[in-house]
Structure 1
Amino acid sequence: MQQVASAVLYIGLVLLALWIIRAFLPAVGWACVIAIALWPVLRKIEDHSWFTGRTTLIAIILTVAIALLVVLPVAIGIGQASHEAHDLLVWFKSVQENGIAMPDIVQRLPFGSQQVAAWWQANLAQPLRESPAMKGLHGEAVVTFGRHFGARAVRILVVFGFMLVTLFVIFQAGPRLSGALLKGAQRAFGSNGAQLLERMAAAVRGTVAGLVVVGIGEGALLGVAYGLAGVPHAALLGFVTAVAAMLPFCAPIVFCAAALWLFVQGMVAWAIGLAVFGFVVVFIAEHFVRPVIIGNSTRLPFLLVLFGILGGAETFGLLGLFIGPALMTVLMVLWKDWVQ
């Protein structure tokens, strides 16, 4: 009875502690994912003679590198947007007064041209301040949207800051932390528990590798396609595509927007070619390349990898992209232990 009471007390205290820090769990989760992915790099750096015993310096270098990897692209994107802000403001004032002229390509559509032309004339061809399509964009709605967007941005910055602090602490702990985790898992669940923890870490590393490698590949291929098609800022757009491609099925949003721009400019063949090429690249990457990379590192079947990525993202958000395959690894290990 004392053992049962102690177990209940420990579980209750753990749940209470998790409830207290529930607002910081996303930051801790992201820090753990990044630390697991970079753990082999950390061990290689520690093995170098120059960094022996300098765990704090190693932690600072890796944490600053992660911060710059996120901050620099965002800063570049904001800087590029600021250069375009003046022209965009002038264009917006012009369409408010004069509306948006209907492109000639609408009249040459194979079907639906009359319906599209009628809608365009009713909503966009006239001054936008009087257009029915703009009635919902009144001042109060814009202010409310700006307030929600600002609160969301502040929350993301706070989570990012706490993630960096947590990541620094994890890197500074180094091998002591990994050894303590393995020892705790082995003491609680036996040797199988330690092996299961290692398999879960391998699943997270494989998922990170699959998402990043495939995302960079898609961004590079589509960046070249943007340049050939004549899309402006092809390099920046390719980078945005690479970031979007790290999330399942998000890359089509970017290259479809680029194809739509080409279509509006009258370059129909380039627009269709870019859209078709983009969907082919995404289909091959999402259904074959990414599951193979993740499955080879975790020894998971293709279907479990796919279900783990999509189901994890739907259940836990972006963090679920890494939690899902790890849980599928646990399921696979438990199944093998059961049938043996």
Structure 2
Amino acid sequence: MVNLRQPRDVAQILLSVLFLAIIIIACLWIVRPFVLGFAWAGTVVIATWPLFIRLQKLLFGRRSLAVVVMTLFLFLVFIIPIALLVNSLVDTSGPVIRSVTSGEMTIPDLAWLNSVPVIGAKLYSGWHSLLEMGGSAIMTKVRPYIGTTTTWFVGQAAHVGRFVMHCALMLVFSALLYWRGEQVALGVRHFATRLAGQRGDAAVLLAGQAVRAVALGVVVTALVQAVLGGIGLAISGVPYATIFTVIMILTCLVQLGPLLVLIPCIIWLYWSGDTTWGTVLLVWSCVVGTMDNVIRPMLIRMGADLPLILILSGVIGGLIAFGMIGLFIGPVLLAVTWRLFSAWVHEIPPPATDPDVVLHELETLEDKNKQ
């Protein structure tokens, strides 16, 4: 009996694929405002899940109490510092914006140049000679650009509100993920297994380990260094310590370190004549600037046994490619790819370590082919 193959209905296949694509795109478009908040919530929950489980055991196994405590903890860690930062930025930038918009900003006198040894008087005289030759004209040309830049920064206030909204969504999604974390994780693993079998499940588990490694080794290290550096700035009497602390967090996240902010502050303290606190901040900066060499590898090993260069490359590359969320996307992609590549390579036994043995086997095979 001959089985005749039924002709494929190409139109039906194309329309089915088109219909599925439309459904997927529509769903992604609907949930697009919540993606960033959910991504941050997933990252936070994955990184703090072991802490959450320990807290639940301490609270007599009550999941609801543990969720409330962890949500309050995230509120204290994220929302309150962000509110203080925004308030500090508004208070600091208010006088600058008013002086720029009113046209009262003038070129500074730089009288402190006279205190520079040997060349101070010449620098001060040269600066004022430049002002006399056309300082007002220079300021007239520069002021419109300053005003435009200031207007741009004022316009970015909407982004602050959007960021606060994402933080609120992060708190809500974090509470939901804490409450149903096991079910969500099992669903993701089931979907990955349906796509790629056991390797898909392994990729999801590895992604979770990589997220925890990055959160512990990179973010926690950056926060510790920045907070300790900010404490040193505040104690030493450096103004705008809060803003400098935020800048240090960013420089530490991109692996530039806190010294990029601390060294100019030390120079300023010595320049202003406060040598005592300048020396204290110098010693403190040496401790803060080198502590990441000890903390980061230890914390990364606690999250996942991954090469340090892989994590750091993923952090920097992900930050450039995807923004702040790239701090986690970059290392996760590199880690999963590296582990899958390593598993694929090790499916066969390694070659012989002695090259003479390999060459002898090759010669034997060539002799057999000639015969």
Per the TM superposition, whether the score is higher than 0.5 is: yes
Equivalent residues in 2 for 1:271-310, closer than 5 Å: 278=285, 281-282=288-289, 284=290, 289-290=295-296, 293-294=299-300, 297-310=303-316
1:43 aligned to 32, 41, 53, which one?
53
Deviates more, 1:313-322 or 1:103-112: 103-112
Deviations 1:17-44 (A, max 9, x none): 2244334322221111111112222333
Cα 1:306–1:75 change in 2 (3 A) is closer
Matched letter for residue 176 of structure 1: Q
Output the CA distance in 2 between the equivalents of 1:299 and 1:179: 23
Matched letter for residue 336 of structure 2: V
2:331 aligned to 325, 330, 337, which one?
325
1:311 aligned to 313, 317, 320, which one?
317
2:80 aligned to 72, 93, 106, which one?
72
Q: 1:97 offset after TM fit, Å?
A: 8.3
Cα 1:168–1:109 change in 2 (3 A) is farther
Matched letter for residue 182 of structure 2: P
Aligned to 2:41: 31
Cα 1:158–1:293 change in 2 (3 A) is same
Aligned to 2:169: 162
Deviations 1:133-178 (A, max 9, x none): 86236766644541x2222212212222222222232222222111
SS in 1 for 2:306: coil
2:144 aligned to 92, 117, 136, which one?
136
Q: 1:72 offset after TM fit, Å?
A: 1.9
SS in 2 for 1:21: helix
Q: 1:296 offset after TM fit, Å?
A: 6.1
Segments of 5+ residues of structure 1 without an aligned counterpart are none
Q: What root-mean-square deviation, in Å, do the aligned CA atoms of Structure 1 and Structure 2 show?
A: 4.6
Output the CA distance in 2 between the equivalents of 1:233 and 1:312: 30
Cα 1:312–1:228 change in 2 (3 A) is same
TM-score scaled to structure 1, two decimals?
A: 0.74
Structure label with greater radius of gyration: 2
Deviations 1:56-100 (A, max 9, x none): x543432232122122223444666788799999999xx958864
Aligned to 2:32: 22
SS in 2 for 1:299: coil
Cα 1:106–1:185 change in 2 (3 A) is farther
Contact residue 85 and residue 243 of structure 2 kept, 8 A: no
Matched letter for residue 201 of structure 2: A
Equivalent residues in 2 for 1:1-340, closer than 5 Å: 13-48=23-58, 50-52=60-62, 54-55=63-64, 57-77=65-85, 96=104, 100-105=108-113, 108=116, 114=122, 118-119=126-127, 122=130, 131-132=139-140, 135-136=143-144, 142-146=150-154, 148-219=155-226, 221-223=228-230, 225-226=232-233, 229-232=236-239, 236=242, 240=246, 243-244=249-250, 246-248=252-254, 249=256, 251-252=258-259, 254-256=261-263, 258-259=265-266, 261-262=268-269, 265-266=272-273, 278=285, 281-282=288-289, 284=290, 289-290=295-296, 293-294=299-300, 297-340=303-346
Q: 1:316 offset after TM fit, Å?
A: 0.7
Contact residue 217 and residue 242 of structure 1 kept, 8 A: no
Deviates more, 1:150-159 or 1:290-299: 290-299
Deviations 1:229-252 (A, max 9, x none): 553576x57854663455222634
Deviations 1:297-334 (A, max 9, x none): 33222322221110011011111111111111111112
Output the CA distance in 2 between the equivalents of 1:259 and 1:241: 16
Q: State, as a whole percentage, how many aligned pairs show the same letter.
A: 24
Q: 1:123 offset after TM fit, Å?
A: 6.2
TM-score scaled to structure 2, two decimals?
A: 0.69
Output the CA distance in 2 between the equivalents of 1:9 and 1:329: 34
The number of aligned residues is 332
Deviates more, 1:315-324 or 1:222-231: 222-231
Output the CA distance in 1 between the equivalents of 2:121 and 2:199: 65
